[in-house]
Chains A and B, each alone.
Chain A
Amino acid sequence: MFLFIVFAAIAVVAALGVILSRKPVYSALFLLLNFATLAAMYIMLQAQFLAAVQVIVYAGAIVVLFLFVVMLIGGGELNDVRDPNKPLAARLTWSRVTALVLAVLLLAGVGYGLLTGQLHRPTGSEAVFGQGSVEAIAGALYTDYLLPFEMTSVLLLVGMIGAVVLARREG
Chain B
Amino acid sequence: MVPTTYYLILSAILFTIGVVGVLIRRNVLIIFMSVEMMLNAVNLSFAALSLHFLGLNGQIFVLMAMVVAAAEVAVGLAIVMTVVRHKDTTNIEDVNLLRG
Give the docked Cα–Cα distance between A148 and B73 (Å).
Answer: 20
User: Are the C-beta atoms of A47 and B50 separated by less than 8 Å?
Assistant: yes
Give the docked Cα–Cα distance between A61 and B70 (Å).
Answer: 8
Cβ proximity bits A44-75 to B, threshold 8 Å, 1 near / 0 not: 11110110011001100110011001101100
Cβ proximity bits A126-144 to B, threshold 8 Å, 1 near / 0 not: 1101011000110011000
User: Are the C-beta atoms of A69 and B29 separated by less than 8 Å?
Assistant: yes
Provide the residues of chain A in CB contact with B25, threshold 8 Å: 19, 79, 81
Instruction: Give the contacts of B29-73 with A (CB-CB under 8 A).
Output: 29-30, 32-34, 36-37, 40, 43-44, 47-48, 50-54, 56-57, 59-60, 62-64, 66-73
Q: Give how many A residues have a beta carbon under 8 Å from the other chain's beta carbons.
A: 81
User: Are the C-beta atoms of A27 and B29 separated by less than 8 Å?
Assistant: yes
User: Are the C-beta atoms of B59 and A49 separated by less than 8 Å?
Assistant: yes
12 example contacts (A-B, Cβ-Cβ < 8 A) are as follows A11-B10, A19-B34, A62-B36, A69-B29, A96-B23, A98-B23, A102-B19, A111-B9, A115-B5, A119-B52, A122-B52, A136-B56
